[in-house]
Structure 1
């Protein structure tokens, strides 16, 4: 009965496809997925008797109502019954394997609607002419309809919205785009209504949040940022676009490119961390992946691409207290030097859309901010694409206290050049506002012109059904090549935070621990003298709520293949650990204790040579609306960790989470700490690759981990203050420091270990002065001094020592990833020019100022070699 099984059932309203996965450790486990809804059903009580499996659990949409199933297996089929909340009781007849897609039978029907001989791509001039011709035929009501978006169903990404059904809105031409059509059948149904029944037959845009994968799920963006690998990130986004586009999704509500320095904010999981330079490179790679394939040379008309929408413009990551949707208050210099660069990079890469931030800036909600959206985004940055509100953001102009009612909110949003209102209906007031002379016809025309231009560029106006491809879905979704790409990026995203020699399993030949100084030959003793590798004789105890959990995908994913997520237990079995050497105990829930759980965990730990302690946050603890005041692990897991550590056995902490956590206790008590984040569909395989040494970890942090949550926000590129803490004055009182702890984080930006030890030589500059328009070179030799082959990320930081406005103590300005064999050395050369020294100031705008600069190179933002040069005046 082990393996994947599928069945189809009919309800009065729709057809459903069910997939079951049956697995076994000491006991049986059952997981179920359902199409077309990517909503999981979890069975937590499973019993097997002969060829019969019975299970009870809960469904995502009604967790308080019991779901139950009885399955009777015989050969490659089984019969049974299933009780689903809200649906009823169904007889089941299942067959082994994934089976055909739910909409495979629609392929012939849909093919008849698609153009067999699609017209050639239109030039921009031809698109412009077509848009103007169509615009001239539209009434004001027709135009407003293009500016409105509706949900595909009553599923909500936020608060409930009072609105007509989507079928009615689309047929009447009152919606130009649709959010949340999770299945190809719904896309086809609504597109056909738009084309056949709306006043002018204008096709719909179908929007979804494709944040880190469509059906094949990749590491969450905070994780993949830690790879520092732009090619791999670009490929992840290209794969995501291929899978989404095959299902008719053409407009992505991503990437999120907000800079954030506060791990309390749940949405750090969606971004690239705290650094604007790295964030800008990753924003560019993501736009290229979604819109242009892996080489960045594609176009939106390509059937395997989707529109990239940069969000959230701008400053959302600075929400006070790390509380979602909260107030933002910052200077223009901070806005431009820290939070704006990723958006600039994404716009330069050709992003077709931008979404506003929820927060206020200078006392005005961004959705209504003419200075930010019109003057900065459009006029200064030259953005000509579609600007869409975030969910409910136009209505929330009223909640902020900046508009008296929805009508005034609509006026303010249109004045700010907001083209599309997401889901809410404030834009229904536009005709009256226009009649009253409060909005001009040209404002409406400009918005609709941008929307129609995008539809023409996507090819929808020439072939409305071109993206609806069941045959492509079957080929792309969860394909072997896509799973391989997910696994490879997942391995690169893992960050080894501590290692005293406990890893890789079986003993490390190189050093672990933390580098105390760049280039120092630090070597810590190995504690792993027993052979616990896959071919060895030692035993592993795998303990914790994430030891055999499939909750490894993270927030903001809607995969129908979640039941096939590879758990850590499954990954280790696949790596060669038999059940006789792999002891297991859950120990506790994520947030609650289990009766007898700690005792069972300790009993397993005492029999083992090494303990893998799999702890973390569940997917609901990070992401939107998931801010946390306390960023430690839940108490139930801390109690479990304390009991396991007390056995005296070597402990490797394996973390699943979506934000930096307070790990100070674990840094003192664990032998190794492996930050795995939410790694996606192949998580268990990727983690096992690193633990066993099949893959040498190379991830580097893109957010600092605090020593204590009282330090938050703590980030590397801070200012000095007028009374900076130094080694010389550390004993004094009246300086910028804490009474009860250091200023520095536990693990700084850029930090990460591997199984090799890299040594850095002296930093050398080829000249002491730099003339405007010139270049200088910084050189350092890096050597793999001990251990296996590995990848080192050599990082370049620069400090502007004295400026017209105060400058950070250091800023990342470059990096190089170099693969070195044991004993191999390589010289790394960084070219530094005037553009690397530029920043924004109120007096001069963007410019580099003459004066002294310090160059720093090292393996992270803390452990660096330093040299200086001077930028001369022009």
Structure 2
């Protein structure tokens, strides 16, 4: 709040709360640099969740027909609390693919179904296009409060908002009949790339099994179609990472990475319908996709971890490691640093993210990455509700996600 008020004071909004210049707005707002930034943000936010047999990136030289299917394929998702705009102000996935491949590749489109509609009238057309194509780009998901001209409370719209302030759901599967559309398209025998446009995680373990590749695009904004297309065809190597955990079912909620330890660890035994266990009797407690997860078109190796033994004079712990691009494509890795307080007066998370850094590497290139942990990062609220730093031993984990830890070390606080 203090930061928000400080900016408002600097802008003079309290003295002149209705400052507005239409002339300046036309020259200062939505300039080309803003549009370019929107595309870059979208490109760096998309998360590659699955890439079976390296289907992605696609090569337009090897394709004759592409089927673009799904209720979000020809919609621009600007994101919650954006200015109401329609498709003319942005680029859809369909637009992006058509512009990218030009006349070299035939691109056919079918909506298949609505986002929330229960009608299956478009299923047959979608299945036929899938059969006749070399690859299918299936764009599913939800809607934010404002998208493609649909504003808050448009009673006559055929679509209903599924995500945003005041829009909660009691389950996290695909809305409407989208899961059935995916099942039908996947049965046509052609490679399927699932692109999800949404604002919350989905519980889709079976759907993920049926497709060959999965991209999580969130609400990618006005240049989302171009950003997704450039990732599909390899002009951009995906480097986004999940900022939340994807549970396998709604019943697994709440599921998050920085949970506190419990007595369940003593008898943890994964269960299945065929062989019941403990924790969850008939299922695994593992997430569908963990916090910090994200794939790349290249691979990265970690080595040479060094952790300063104790807090430095400037009250920081410095953690360094070497990261090497061991693949044949340029790419970016998000190096993540997690910390665990081994012994404390109150319970603390089993693993908590304290720092991260995205490093860009050419094939074969290696760089030293330095991450820092401050005293504030290590403090806790004790039983007297004091925010304090307790002495003791801390474990350090460095890796590509909360579950993909590559290097481990420790340091002490005296």
Question: Do they fold alike, i.e. is TM over 0.5?
Answer: yes
Q: Which residue of 2 aligns with 1:458?
A: 12
Q: How does 1:613-652 map to 2 (within 5 A)?
A: 613-619=138-144, 620-652=161-193
Gap change, CA 1:723 and 1:595, over 3 Å in 2: closer
Take 1:809 and 1:866, find their aligned partners in 2: how far apart are those partners?
A: 16
Residues 571 and 736 of structure 1, relative CA distance in 2, 3 Å threshold: same
Matched residue, 2:233: 692
The whole-number CA distance in structure 2 between the counterparts of 1:544 and 1:613 is 6
Q: Equivalent residue for 1:485?
A: 37
Which position in structure 2 is the counterpart of 1:476?
A: 28
The equivalent of 1:578 in structure 2 is 103
CA deviations on 1:210-240 (whole Å, 9 max, x unpaired) are xxxxxxxxxxxxxxxxxxxxxxxxxxxxxxx
Alignment of 1:164-203 (within 5 A): none
| Aligned residue among 63, 84, 87 for 1:559 | 84
Structure 2 counterpart of 1:504: 57
- Would the alpha carbon gap of residues 645 and 838 (structure 1) be closer, same or farther in structure 2, given more than 3 Å must change? same
Q: In the aligned structure 2, how far is the partner of 1:630 from the partner of 1:745?
A: 16
Task: Write the distance in 1 (CA, Å) between the matches of 2:69 and 2:220.
Answer: 19
Residues 587, 774 of structure 1: CA spacing in aligned structure 2 closer, same or farther, 3 A cutoff? closer
Q: For residues 614 and 600 of structure 1, what CA distance do their matches in structure 2 show?
A: 16
Secondary structure class of the residue paired with 1:704: coil
1:664 deviates by 0.7
Distance 1:871 1:486 in 2: 43
Q: Deviations over 1:352-383 (max 9, x none)?
A: 08xxxxxxxxxxxxxxxxxxxxxxxxxxxxxx
1:569 aligns with 2:94: yes
| Matched residue, 2:153 | none
Aligned to 1:302: none
- Say if 1:770 and 1:748 are closer, same or farther in 2 by CA, change over 3 A: same
Report how far residue 827 of structure 1 moved. Answer: 2.0
Which residue in 2 is equivalent to 1:653? 194
In the alignment, structure 1 segments of 5+ residues that lack a partner are 1-309, 311-346, 354-384, 386-453, 507-532
Would the aligned equivalents of 1:573 and 1:579 in 2 still touch at CA under 8 Å? no
* Partner of residue 590, structure 1: 115
Instruction: Give the 3-state SS of the residue equivalent to 2:265 in structure 1.
Output: coil
| 2:5 equivalent in structure 1 | 352
Ranges in structure 2 where 5+ consecutive residues have no aligned partner: 145-160
SS in 2 for 1:781: strand
Counterparts of 1:658-697 in structure 2 under 5 Å? 658-697=199-238
Is 1:847 aligned with 2:388?
yes
Q: Is the 1:543–1:586 Cα contact (8 Å) retained in structure 2? A: yes
Q: Distance in 1 between matches of 2:308 and 2:321?
A: 11
Of 221, 224, 249, which residue of structure 2 is paired with 1:708?
A: 249
Local SS of the residue matching 1:836: helix
Q: Report matched runs for 1:14-93 at 5 Å.
A: none
Q: Does the CA contact (< 8 Å) of 1:478 and 1:561 recur in 2?
A: no
Give how far 1:681 is off. 1.2
Give 1:761 deviation, angstroms: 2.2
Q: 1:735 to 1:637 in 2, by over 3 A?
A: closer
What is the CA-CA distance between 1:736 and the residue it aligns to? 6.7
The structure number with the bigger radius of gyration is: 1
Cα distance 1:352–1:800, how it changes in 2: closer, same or farther (>3 A)? same
Note the C-alpha offset of 1:829. Answer: 2.4
1:723 positional shift? 2.7
Q: Are 1:740 and 2:265 an aligned pair?
A: no
Question: Is 1:540–2:193 an aligned residue pair?
Answer: no
For 1:392-450, what per-residue CA distance to the aligned partner results, in whole angstroms no more than 9, with x for missing partners? xxxxxxxxxxxxxxxxxxxxxxxxxxxxxxxxxxxxxxxxxxxxxxxxxxxxxxxxxxx
CA distance in 1, matches of 2:292, 2:9: 41
CA gap of 1:734–1:847, structure 2 versus 1, over 3 A, is farther
C-alpha contact (below 8 Å) 1:616/1:657 kept by paired residues = yes
Q: 1:777 aligns with which of 318, 328, 353?
A: 318
Residue 861 (structure 1) shift: 1.0
Shift, 1:652, TM fit: 0.5
Aligned-partner Cα distance in 1 for 2:312–2:384? 22
Q: How big is the alpha-carbon RMSD for the aligned residues of Structure 1 and Structure 2?
A: 2.7
Deviations 1:172-221 (A, max 9, x none): xxxxxxxxxxxxxxxxxxxxxxxxxxxxxxxxxxxxxxxxxxxxxxxxxx
Give SS of 1:351's match. helix
In structure 2, what is the equivalent of residue 449 of structure 1? none
- Cα drift, residue 561 of structure 1: 5.5
Conserved 8 A contact 1:645-1:651: yes
Asked if the contact 2:400/2:406 (under 8 Å) is kept, the reply is no
Aligned counterparts of 2:312 and 2:288: Cα–Cα separation in 1? 39
Q: Is the CA contact 1:760–1:782 (under 8 Å) kept in the aligned structure 2? A: yes
Question: Is contact 2:75–2:87 with CA below 8 Å preserved after alignment?
Answer: no
CA displacement, residues 559-602 of structure 1 (integer Å, 9 cap, x when unaligned): 34653221111111121243851121111111224454111111
Deviation, 1:868, is: 4.0
The aligned residue for residue 187 of structure 1 is none
Q: Which residue of 1 aligns with 2:158?
A: none
- Determine helix, strand or coil for the equivalent of 2:367: strand
**8 Å contact kept, 1:850–1:870:** no
Contact 2:305/2:409 (CA < 8 Å) preserved in 1?
no
Kindly indicate whether the alpha-carbon contact (under 8 Å) linking 2:138 and 2:195 is maintained by their aligned counterparts in 1: yes
Tell me if structure 2 keeps the 8 A contact 1:547–1:568: yes
Quick one: distance in 2 between partners of 1:472 and 1:770?
A: 50
Tell me if the contact between 2:340 and 2:396 (Cα under 8 Å) persists in the aligned partners: yes
CA positional deviation for 1:777: 3.3
Higher relative contact order (CA 8 A, sep 6+): 2
Query: How many Å separate the matches in 1 of 2:225 and 2:322?
Result: 36
Instruction: Quote how far apart the aligned CAs of 1:833 are.
Output: 4.4
**SS of match in other structure, 1:828:** strand
Tell me the distance in 2 between the aligned counterparts of 1:699 and 1:797.
Answer: 18
**What TM-score, normalized by structure 2, do the two folds share?**
0.87
